[in-house]
């Protein structure tokens, strides 16, 4: 586990983005942990979050022309990441979508840069893949191509079959889907940090039940 991975987990714990307890997931599973990117809800947190995304974007070496954030959580992600990238002398256009198409003013469903070329999608987590499927339709409908997807966390649990949601999206669109951290990273962190024995046991049990092989 890299130092950047540890720093992101510590950041998520500090801001209570990563929480432990009893949570019901979108898939109807009772999970012993929950990751809520919306809890990065102040200026300093958003700045640091953008830097984590920017560093991951640069590290992947994915070739792209712009970044796109699915409404709603993707909106602050592309905003903060584009600023962080510009601080590294990488000036990249960004866009995000409205949930409802606007029929007055500038109209349409896209805010920001015009969709063009290779588009890198930034999101928080892929659950059922709904927002990525919608993003694909929007981007390709406007003449662009999805270059890849970067999310904060990969829960690494099975979807309807043996693959995880991120693997399903990667296979469906033949694109890289990359996360800043994943469940294995969280487990490794808890194994080397005092005070999380109970949480670690519950997460490992959950992983044995729903994790990908």
Handedness of CA 120, 122, 128, 133 (dihedral sign): negative
- Domain holding 133: CATH number? 3.40.50.2020
β-bridge partners, 87: none
Nearest-Å Rg of the Cα atoms of the chain is 17
The pair phi, psi for residue 149, each rounded to 5°, is -135, 135
Q: What percent of the chain has pLDDT over 70?
A: 94
Q: ∠ CA 86-152-141 to the nearest 5 degrees?
A: 75
pLDDT, position 19: 97
* Cα-based torsion angle of the residue sequence 152, 156, 160, 161 in order, rounded to the nearest 10 degrees: 140
| Mean pLDDT on 33-57 | 97
pLDDT tens for residues 60-91? Answer: 999 999 999 999 899 999 999 999 999 999 99
pLDDT tens for residues 95-124? Answer: 999 876 554 445 468 999 999 999 999 999
Answer with the residue of higher pLDDT: 1 or 78. 78
Which residues does the annotation mark as catalytic?
A: 102, 104
- Give the total number of structural domains in the chain: 1
**Residues 42, 106 contacting (CB under 8 angstroms):** no
pLDDT tens for residues 117-147? Answer: 999 999 999 876 788 999 999 999 999 999 9
**Among 101, 94, 70, CA closest to 80:** 94
**Among 122, 12, 132, 127, CA closest to 60:** 122
Separation of alpha carbons 155 and 187, rounded Å:
11
Query: Does 164 have pLDDT greater than 70?
Result: yes
**Residues 160, 58 contacting (CB under 8 angstroms):** no
| Mean pLDDT on 22-47 | 93
pLDDT, position 130: 83
Q: What percent of the chain has pLDDT over 90?
A: 81
Q: Within a 13 Å sphere around the CA of 7, how many CA atoms are in the beta-carbon half?
A: 10
Confidence of residue 28 (pLDDT cuts 50, 70, 90): confident
Range of the domain at 154: 3-210
């Amino acid at each position: 586990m890299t130092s950047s991975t540890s720093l992101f987990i510590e950041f998520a714990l500090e801001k209570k983005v990563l929480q432990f307890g009893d949570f019901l997931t979108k898939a109807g599973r009772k999970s012993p942990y929950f990751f809520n990117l919306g809890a990065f809800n102040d200026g300093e947190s958003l700045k640091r979050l953008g830097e984590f995304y920017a560093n991951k974007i640069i590290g992947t070496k994915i070739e792209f022309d712009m970044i796109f954030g699915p409404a709603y959580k993707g909106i602050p992600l592309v905003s903060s990441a584009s600023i962080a990238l510009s601080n590294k002398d990488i000036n990249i256009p960004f866009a995000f979508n409205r949930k409802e198409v606007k029929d007055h003013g500038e109209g349409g469903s896209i805010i920001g840069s015009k969709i063009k070329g290779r588009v890198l999608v930034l999101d928080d987590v892929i659950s059922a893949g709904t927002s990525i499927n919608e993003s694909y339709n929007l981007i390709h409908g406007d003449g662009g191509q999805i270059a890849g997807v970067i999310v904060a966390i990969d829960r690494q649990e099975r979807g309807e079959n043996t693959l995880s949601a991120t693997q399903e999206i990667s296979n469906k669109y033949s694109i890289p889907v990359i996360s800043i951290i994943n469940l294995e990273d969280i487990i490794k962190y808890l194994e080397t940090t005092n005070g999380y024995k109970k949480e670690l046991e519950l997460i490992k049990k959950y992983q044995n039940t729903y994790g990908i092989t």
